Amino acid sequence: LDTAKTMWDAIMNLYQNATTNRKLILREKLRNTRMNKGEDVTSYLTRLRLVKDELTAVGDKPSDDELVRIALNGFTKQWDVFVQVINGRDTLPSWDRLWSDFTQEELRLSLVNGANNKSQKSEVEQENVALA
């Protein structure tokens, strides 16, 4: 029994050390996750959520607040104004609300940019017709 208990304790110790190291690595990965230039909001937030899920699986679930703060700090410069608006609220949004707010803003911006591109094309076409 003494030998079996000693072996069991050694295995448990190895597992606990591996889990602790895994938690540290995943925490660092979460803190260092940033939106890549040209990446869409859903891809960025999905990458964060996947790391959060990995942390949860090893018993170290980040709070909604922590995840929201990390996400806000990782957005690219083009999102600075929107991030400031979110940070200016009395309370930070939940993770789900943050996801919704940013994806809606991304959609709005793409529609506005699409309309601007059509408007610019139309002006160029009118100039070409006038020159012809």
pLDDT confidence of residue 129 = 55
Tokens 């002006």: give the residue: 123
Question: Structure pTM?
Answer: 0.75
pLDDT at 112 over 60: yes
Domain range for 59 is 2-131
Closest CA to 68 of 100, 37, 38: 100
Taking the C-alpha atoms of residue 34 and residue 30, their distance in angstroms, rounded to an integer, is 9
Secondary structure E strands in the chain? none
Task: Please give the distance of CA 41 from its chain centroid, rounded to a whole number.
Answer: 7
Helix axis angle for 80-87 and 64-74, nearest 10°, is 150
pLDDT confidence of residue 12 = 73
Mean pLDDT of 103-125: 76
Taking the C-alpha atoms of residue 99 and residue 63, their distance in angstroms, rounded to an integer, is 15
CA distances from 26 to 15, 43, 48 (A): 16, 18, 11
When divided into structural domains, the chain yields a total of 1
Q: Binning pLDDT at 50, 70 and 90, where does residue 20 land?
A: confident
| Residue, of 87 and 122, whose pLDDT is higher | 87
Q: Which two tokens stand for residue 11?
A: 């295995």
Please write the tens of the pLDDT for every residue from 52-74: 999 999 999 999 999 999 999 99
| Residue, of 132 and 24, whose pLDDT is higher | 24
